[in-house]
Amino acid sequence: MMTASDETLLFKNSEMVFSRGYIHAGGHFSACRLLTLANSNSLCSGVTTYDGCSIESTMKYDEVFIVLGGNVRILWGPEYSRAVEAKFGDVVWLPKGNRVKYQGEKGIIFYVLYPVDWRTRPEDPQTDGAVGDVRLLKSKDMVYEQMYPESGGYGSRCRLITPDMSKTMGASMHTYDACSIEWTTHYDQATVVLDGTLRIVTGEKFNRVIEAKFGDVIRLPKGTHFKYEGDKAKTFTALYPVDWAARAEK
């Protein structure tokens, strides 16, 4: 029997409902939670805004986010002596264990974190105590490579978070223009559209078409068979597990 965590989901930007939080942090913070324990077994995701606030957090999970608007700043390190500042299209990787402050000016992000059950999951005794660095991946520095030229049109990707950086999630950018790329997911993924129109063609005999535009989010669970299509579409995707390819070979 199919459960909520097995379904392909579309979250429309125009229908997202935000709740204000962290009133004590000054300024304005709001959040719209999309993937939670109610509909996901692995990834947690949502959209949050930061404007004039300063929110402290100790990372009890790995998180990756992309900026959808404004400026977002992460302070970290000893006495918050280090900082990264991200703008539209920039991606930030926040490994578990870091103590950080989230700040911003009219900032809005799409975030994905693992695990979804971080609040109740016991600490991993295998953890060696090492904490990875916060990393900023600038949009202007991203290098794309063409993928699946036999699928017509043009599709490309830029791998961002890979197994050499992460033990949990992977992340990448993609473009789809007049192509039709057939694929089956070997992982759970969450994708946000940054530009153009993305179409996910799925279902029996590919009879279901999901169309997404800027700010819309699509969740594809592991085992989904579908086609990527699009018109000048640009997307950001986070997935779990990062080492899906190596697992598939076993």
Q: pTM for the full model?
A: 0.95
Burial of 196 (0-12, 13-18, 19+ CB in 10 A): middle
Q: How many residues does the chain have?
A: 250
The more confidently predicted of residues 122 and 220 is 220
Domain holding 59, by residue range, is 4-140
Number of domains in the chain: 2
Structure tokens at 52: 């004039």
Start-to-end C-alpha separation, the chain: 27
Count of alpha carbons within 13 angstroms of residue 233, beta-carbon side:
29
- Whether residue 61 is found in the same domain as residue 161: no
- Whether residue 117 is found in the same domain as residue 195: no
- Whether residue 156 is found in the same domain as residue 185: yes
- Whether residue 65 is found in the same domain as residue 27: yes
The pLDDT tens digits of the residues spanning 93-117 come to: 999 999 999 999 999 999 999 999 9
- Residue ending a domain, choose from 105, 140, 175: 140
CATH number for the domain spanning 219: value is 2.60.120.10
Taking alpha carbons only, the member of 70, 30, 43, 78 closest to residue 168 is: 43
- Whether residue 161 is found in the same domain as residue 80: no
- Whether residue 125 is found in the same domain as residue 19: yes
- Whether residue 67 is found in the same domain as residue 153: no
Query: Taking a C-beta distance cutoff of 8 angstroms, is the pair 99, 76 a contact?
Result: yes
pLDDT score for 129: 61
**What average pLDDT does range 218-240 have in this prediction?**
98
Taking alpha carbons only, the member of 106, 102, 95 closest to residue 74 is: 102
Q: What stretches of the chain show up as alpha helix (H) in DSSP?
A: 244-249
- Residue ending a domain, choose from 124, 140, 156: 140
**What average pLDDT does range 129-147 have in this prediction?**
93
- Whether residue 150 is found in the same domain as residue 90: no
- Whether residue 95 is found in the same domain as residue 208: no
- Whether residue 149 is found in the same domain as residue 102: no
Q: Output phi, psi for 115, to 5 deg.
A: -95, 160
pLDDT score for 24: 80
Burial of 90 (0-12, 13-18, 19+ CB in 10 A): buried
Residue that has been written with the tokens 């805004």 in this structure: 49
pLDDT score for 239: 98
- Whether residue 167 is found in the same domain as residue 240: yes
pLDDT score for 124: 66
- Whether residue 85 is found in the same domain as residue 194: no
The answer for residues whose C-beta is within 8 angstroms of residue 40's C-beta and 6 or more apart is 5, 116, 188, 219
Q: Using CA atoms, how far apart are residues 30 and 48, in angstroms rounded to an integer?
A: 6
Structure tokens at 66: 């992309």
How far is Cα of residue 158 from the mean position of the Cα atoms in its chain? 14
The pLDDT tens digits of the residues spanning 28-40 come to: 999 999 999 999 9
- Residue ending a domain, choose from 112, 140, 168: 140
Taking alpha carbons only, the member of 26, 19, 138 closest to residue 90 is: 138
| Helix, strand, coil shares, percent, the chain, to 5 | 10, 55, 35
